[in-house]
Amino acid sequence: MLKKLLFVVLLCTTGLSAQDYFYKKFYPFNPDIPSPEAFLGYGIGEHHTRHDLIVAYLEKLATVSDRAKITYYGKTHEGRKLVILQVSSPENLENLSSLKEKHLAFTKPEENPTYTEDLPVFINLAYNVHGNEPSSSEAALLAAYTFVASEHAEIKNYLQNAVLFIDPTINPDGRDRHTQYANAYQGNPLVADPQDAEHNEYWPRGRTNHYWFDLNRDWLLAIHPESRGKLKWYHEWYPNVVTDFHEMGSQSTYFFEPMKDNGSLNPIMPKENYEDLNNLFGDYYAKALDSIGSFYFTKEVFDGTYPGYGSSYPDLQGGLGLLFEQASSRGHKQTTAFGEITFPFTIRNQYTSSITTVKAAVENREVLYNYQKKFFKSALTNASKNKLKAYTFNAENDKNRVKAFVDKLLLHQIDVYKNGDAFVVPTQQPQYRMVQTMFETYSKYRDSVYYDASAWSLANFYNIKYKSTTNGALGTKIKTTEDLVSLTPVPSTNYAYLIDYDDYNAVAVLNYLQQNGLVISSSFKPFTAATNKGEIAFNYGTLVVPVSLQKKTASEVHELLIKAQEKYQVPMYSVSTGYNTKGIDLGSGYLTPIKKPKLAMLIGEGINSYEAGEVWHLLDTRVHMPITKIPMRNLSRASLAKYTTLVMVSGQYNFSKAEEEKLKNWLAAGNTLVTVGTASKFVIEKEWVKESLTESKKDSTATERQPYVDAREFLGKERVGGAIFKVDLDITHPLAFGYRDTQIPVYKNNTVWLQPSKNPFATVAKYSSNPHIDGFITKKNIEEYLKPSASLLVSKHKAGKVILFADNPNFRGSWYGTNRLFLNALFLGNYINLPQ
Ligand SMILES: [Zn+2]
């Protein structure tokens, strides 16, 4: 109650009651429909609202009103519901399936529909992809209430002419992590001091989802259930307008589009989208925010270059994606250079933009529909101007990696065909722009500072060796990836099983069999064996399961192999002799028995939560293997002796002397440390290993005078924001087992430059002489730093080993092409023997 009073006092400075503050303009409201305040028992802005209560309120609206219907599109990793509330006039909702059919005609170039007045515009009001940017979900409750309960003529008019799809929380797991935090530290009275705990969340904070992934990068990559569910929904409805609400640092105002001039030379986006439509909508937001006295900026800071944002993906789908950024109150009230920001104030701006989006879309329905139609038609005409008719690739020796890539293509509604062994992706299709996004690479850029990655050719993420062709032969259309890998069960043998290690899932099989107590060897040299499928040439790393050496019976061993094969669809063979036709025999000293590694990773304050989350996610979801996450705060009392392998991802490691000694002693005892990114730099600078960093030899003291106004942009210029480079791989090295090609793409988004090792056997991957594949990098970085450097090294520390990754092999859960290097480090790292 006291809080309620405080809230009223807060608002009384503007002379408004709680409800007046937000939606006075839209009185009267239907008294039979509960307001969020009535439902929750507190005023919006007084607390942070939990996701289950948000869902419960929207479910309530759907039961009490014929203007609303609740739908579900999935569940998060933590089991929270992903929901969309459909809101429109009762007549529109009743006829939604026929309206949908009319609407979708505009996405089909062959149908050529003409716009009619009775077709409502489809608007996806989507909120809170970043969990600790909480104002927008609260605004979603207010918007839902306004559209469902207001009897105001303006609102009723919008409902006649629009179907709203309100997604209140795109990232419920992250939101609730922050909600719990902000409510738990809320003072009474409120503490506006920025140093108060309420305004300073602890690691890993609420921005990301369960596995600490940024879901606002996952629209293209489609790794997580939140995005996968949403993409399926998206391609069922193709909304004309999509909102994407965020918060930025507290020392700011409000941002809406138009964005910074498109950073990239991006020929695939129609200019009409980011010039005409954004300016058209921009005028509406300016007017609405002016009317409530709010300040804002446009055309700076944010760019829509990367296509995996919630505000840029819709632009690639004939819609208009709109980014909003509110200065955060991060907590309930905070003092900033602009004065005090309150949570209700931030919510009101987001609410105002929500309503304004509907107004602008309704008033420009015809423009939006004509644009949508033109967008998909122009996809075909653009494609027909391209001499190139298709991209093709083969599954070669890793069907599961290719299957994962094809899954992405299909999820984005890209047509894929199978012609013999070849996969064919024709350019002539309505999703031509997505085809370009997946395969095309760029080397020319208009800008040098990006908000995020400047390379996203997904084919490279998956190490797909694709070719472009002017031949249009298609074959059969692929509808599902389910039957892309089909194997006959391996027949039983009393001698040995051979498991193909080239397959992406081979490591998961290895882990499965090790967990079930089997003794497995890795072949450190290739060989050719007579198998149940005839003579087969086996690559480095082939797994060998010797039957007589197991503690289980031959039939138990066979049963386990069959189970593993069913679960992971990896090719397996049986042999009845160890006397191979070429190369080493099965009793050779090059067959190394490998034990199950015991894994741990350091996490916590200062450590890059994205990279740590990527490791955790990789092991959980692809290998199904636990990894112990040791909080840095517990390191001094943690017992390390039980681990064989420790992961340190990028971060600031402020170890105490005792902690550093503890780690070095553990390492010296013969264990393996795997470092990624700046952690690799750290172990070199701290001299845990005798390696060095690449330094520029050129004198750069002569600096030209520059105008001060350019300083801000200049600061970001030498960053490597995210680009793709080619490395030369030693495929005879255990860390590169499973690869057949010495040239593979890697992803670099840091300035960690490792010098190749002085030990001739220790540089596993070095950037090749012509390394650029895709993305922005300065000439200086490429010539002075990249070209002379290594991407992956092994180094010794007494009896132990450190495996140093300069680049992140697990980037955003999407680098299937380099994941194997990392998994090899965990599973085979203990078995690398370097001569002195
Ligand atoms: Zn955000």
Mind listing the pLDDT tens digit for each residue in 52-84?
999 999 999 999 999 999 999 999 999 999 999
C-alpha of residue 825 to centroid of ligand 1, in Å: 34
C-alpha of residue 207 to centroid of ligand 1, in Å: 7
Three-class secondary structure assignment of 106-135:
HHCCCCCCCCCCCCCEEEEEECCCCCCCCH
Cα-Cα-Cα-Cα torsion 745, 750, 751, 752, nearest 10 degrees, comes to -80
Cβ neighbours around 124 below 10 Å, total: 26
C-alpha of residue 261 to centroid of ligand 1, in Å: 20
Look at residue 428 and tell me whether its pLDDT is greater than 60: yes
State residue 405's pLDDT score: 98
C-alpha of residue 175 to centroid of ligand 1, in Å: 12
Out of 7-21, 84-98, 245-259, 474-488, pick the least confident. 7-21
- Kindly report the backbone phi and psi dihedral angles of residue 702, in degrees, each rounded to the nearest multiple of 5, phi listed first: -75, 100
- Residue 91: HSE in the Cβ half-sphere, 13 Å Cα cutoff: 9
C-alpha of residue 344 to centroid of ligand 1, in Å: 18
Burial grade of 658 (CB within 10 A; 0-12, 13-18, 19 or more): exposed
State residue 310's pLDDT score: 94
* Confidence class for position 264, pLDDT limits 50, 70, 90: very low
Average pLDDT in the chain? 93
C-alpha of residue 226 to centroid of ligand 1, in Å: 16
C-alpha of residue 721 to centroid of ligand 1, in Å: 18
Q: Give the single-character DSSP code of 96.
A: H
C-beta separation of 526 from 538 below 8 A: yes
C-alpha of residue 803 to centroid of ligand 1, in Å: 34
Cβ neighbours around 364 below 10 Å, total: 20
State residue 701's pLDDT score: 55
C-alpha of residue 609 to centroid of ligand 1, in Å: 16
Positive or negative, the Cα torsion across 820, 595, 625, 518? positive
C-alpha of residue 215 to centroid of ligand 1, in Å: 10
C-alpha of residue 192 to centroid of ligand 1, in Å: 22
Mind listing the pLDDT tens digit for each residue in 397-412?
899 999 999 999 999 9
C-alpha of residue 305 to centroid of ligand 1, in Å: 16
Among all chains, which residue has been given the structure tokens 């039961």?
63
C-alpha of residue 253 to centroid of ligand 1, in Å: 14
As a whole number of angstroms, the distance between CA 558 and CA 492 comes to 6
C-alpha of residue 184 to centroid of ligand 1, in Å: 22
* Among candidate residues 788, 719, 728, the one with its CA nearest the CA of residue 756: 788
- What average pLDDT does this structure show over 421-439? 96
C-alpha of residue 208 to centroid of ligand 1, in Å: 10
- Ordered DSSP codes for 577-591: -S--SEE--TTSTTE
| Angle at CA of residue 95, ends 89 and 100, nearest 5° | 105
Out of 206-220, 267-281, 485-499, 776-790, pick the least confident. 267-281
C-alpha of residue 445 to centroid of ligand 1, in Å: 25
Look at residue 836 and tell me whether its pLDDT is greater than 90: no
Look at residue 714 and tell me whether its pLDDT is greater than 70: no
Look at residue 662 and tell me whether its pLDDT is greater than 50: yes
- What average pLDDT does this structure show over 760-787? 94
C-alpha of residue 84 to centroid of ligand 1, in Å: 20
C-beta separation of 652 from 603 below 8 A: no
State residue 11's pLDDT score: 42
Look at residue 6 and tell me whether its pLDDT is greater than 50: no
Joined tokens for residue 633: 């705060």
Sheet holding 591-594, edge to edge: 572-575, 496-499, 543-546, 520-523, 591-594
As a whole number of angstroms, the distance between CA 572 and CA 485 comes to 13
C-alpha of residue 303 to centroid of ligand 1, in Å: 13
C-alpha of residue 247 to centroid of ligand 1, in Å: 5
C-alpha of residue 134 to centroid of ligand 1, in Å: 10
State residue 835's pLDDT score: 85
- What average pLDDT does this structure show over 710-737? 86
Name the region of 158 (left: φ>0; alpha: ψ -120 to 50; beta: rest): alpha
State residue 274's pLDDT score: 80
C-alpha of residue 210 to centroid of ligand 1, in Å: 16
C-alpha of residue 346 to centroid of ligand 1, in Å: 14
C-alpha of residue 9 to centroid of ligand 1, in Å: 30
C-alpha of residue 277 to centroid of ligand 1, in Å: 22
C-alpha of residue 559 to centroid of ligand 1, in Å: 49
As a whole number of angstroms, the distance between CA 774 and CA 753 comes to 19
Look at residue 478 and tell me whether its pLDDT is greater than 80: yes
C-alpha of residue 249 to centroid of ligand 1, in Å: 10
Collect all residues with Cβ–Cβ distance below 8 Å to 162 and sequence separation of at least 6: 88, 120, 121, 122, 123, 358, 361, 362
As a whole number of angstroms, the distance between CA 172 and CA 150 comes to 27
Mind listing the pLDDT tens digit for each residue in 578-596?
999 999 999 999 999 999 9
C-alpha of residue 127 to centroid of ligand 1, in Å: 10
* Confidence class for position 238, pLDDT limits 50, 70, 90: very high
C-alpha of residue 545 to centroid of ligand 1, in Å: 49
Name the region of 413 (left: φ>0; alpha: ψ -120 to 50; beta: rest): left
C-beta separation of 44 from 347 below 8 A: yes
Among all chains, which residue has been given the structure tokens 């067959």?
591
Q: Give the single-character DSSP code of 299.
A: S
- What average pLDDT does this structure show over 422-444? 92
C-alpha of residue 797 to centroid of ligand 1, in Å: 42
C-alpha of residue 131 to centroid of ligand 1, in Å: 8
State residue 13's pLDDT score: 42
Look at residue 450 and tell me whether its pLDDT is greater than 70: no
- What average pLDDT does this structure show over 530-555? 98
C-alpha of residue 243 to centroid of ligand 1, in Å: 12
As a whole number of angstroms, the distance between CA 376 and CA 723 comes to 29
C-beta separation of 832 from 764 below 8 A: no
Positive or negative, the Cα torsion across 674, 679, 681, 682? negative
C-alpha of residue 817 to centroid of ligand 1, in Å: 28
C-alpha of residue 246 to centroid of ligand 1, in Å: 4
Out of 11-20, 708-717, 803-812, pick the least confident. 11-20
C-alpha of residue 632 to centroid of ligand 1, in Å: 27
- What average pLDDT does this structure show over 532-536? 97
C-alpha of residue 723 to centroid of ligand 1, in Å: 22
As a whole number of angstroms, the distance between CA 729 and CA 743 comes to 6
Look at residue 443 and tell me whether its pLDDT is greater than 80: no
C-alpha of residue 147 to centroid of ligand 1, in Å: 25
As a whole number of angstroms, the distance between CA 147 and CA 86 comes to 11
Mind listing the pLDDT tens digit for each residue in 12-52?
344 455 678 999 999 999 999 999 999 999 999 999 999 99
C-alpha of residue 132 to centroid of ligand 1, in Å: 8
Mind listing the pLDDT tens digit for each residue in 334-389?
999 989 999 999 999 999 999 999 999 999 999 999 999 999 999 999 999 999 99
Out of 345-354, 649-658, 748-757, 769-778, pick the least confident. 769-778
C-alpha of residue 178 to centroid of ligand 1, in Å: 13
Helix (H) or strand (E) holding 682: helix 678-685
C-alpha of residue 115 to centroid of ligand 1, in Å: 35
C-alpha of residue 248 to centroid of ligand 1, in Å: 7
Cβ neighbours around 696 below 10 Å, total: 13
* Among candidate residues 364, 384, 464, the one with its CA nearest the CA of residue 424: 464
C-alpha of residue 423 to centroid of ligand 1, in Å: 37
C-alpha of residue 129 to centroid of ligand 1, in Å: 7
C-alpha of residue 333 to centroid of ligand 1, in Å: 19
C-alpha of residue 644 to centroid of ligand 1, in Å: 38
C-beta separation of 135 from 343 below 8 A: yes
C-alpha of residue 451 to centroid of ligand 1, in Å: 12
State residue 739's pLDDT score: 97
C-alpha of residue 307 to centroid of ligand 1, in Å: 15
